[in-house]
Amino acid sequence: MTELFGQVNKLDPNKGLVTLRMSDDDLHTLQKYHATNQQQVLSVIASDDNEPTPKQRRFAFALLNDVWLSQVGGAWLETVESTRRHFYGMYEYYHGLDFGEFSLSAVKGNKSDTNEFINMLLDYAVLHNISLSVKPLNELEPQEIAHWEYRCLMEKMCVVCGKKPSDLHHLDTIGSGRNRQHTNHLGHRAVQLCREHHNLAHSLGIETFMQRFKINGIKIDEKIALAHGLNIK
């Protein structure tokens, strides 16, 4: 597989046509493939060229510092800088990037990659029970909050503050006179809340609570149901 790059020059959704502006070298390579008279299939990946926001960068570096302070890991935890290089390398490896290709800098980085990098750091922190100096719900991009909500449900930690123990809190009406153990929970929305935030949700009302903390709830799937011992039949 040969990777080629192009910038979208014209898009015609009615005809399903996309016109790309490509470099001479990439265009020449594509012409060589086309000359074989074999049908060519191109895989198109949209890249977000917007630079990381200052808020994203601050959050990512705060998470890296939290991991370093925890000293949960290997020899790469010697300094904050060595910790950063380690996770840069992990991200590049798992995403098939060349060494040095990923960056949080405003010059080289982009918003999409930074969001994925932040999610990787959050997953590591949750997996190793690392205390966070900042609350993810206050820092995450709106479209990334669902990833955090799902992870908290799976790891049984409060989506607001990260505390354990915590309980699954249904956002949709479950029961209504029926035994919850005999109710199929699949598809019903839920969040994970500690006792403090569970009580706050009841005090404020669930809609106000969700708006305050910018959460939408996650539809229970088989993995969540299994983790919480919920009925799915």
Q: What is the pLDDT of residues 64-79, one digit of tens each?
A: 999 999 999 999 999 9
Amino acid identity of residue 195, one-letter, is R
Considering the domain boundaries, does residue 2 fall inside one? yes
Compute the distance between CA of residue 228 and CA of residue 131 in angstroms, rounded to an integer. Answer: 23
User: What is the domain count for the chain?
Assistant: 3
Examine the domain organization and report whether 116 and 58 are in the same domain: yes
Task: Summarize pLDDT for 164-201 with one digit per residue, the tens.
Answer: 999 999 988 765 545 556 688 899 999 999 999 999 99
What is the tens place of the pLDDT at every residue in 132-163?
A: 999 999 999 988 999 999 999 999 999 999 99
- Residue 117 shares a structural domain with residue 80: yes
218 DSSP β-pair partners:
190
58 lies in the same domain as 37: no
Residue 90: give the domain boundaries: 54-134
Residue 143 covered by a domain: no
Neighbours of 197 (CB within 10 A): 20
Residue 233 lies in a domain: no
**Verdict on whether the full-model pTM lies above 0.95:** no
| Shared domain check, 10 and 71 | no
Q: Is residue 110 part of a domain?
A: yes
pLDDT attached to residue 197: 96
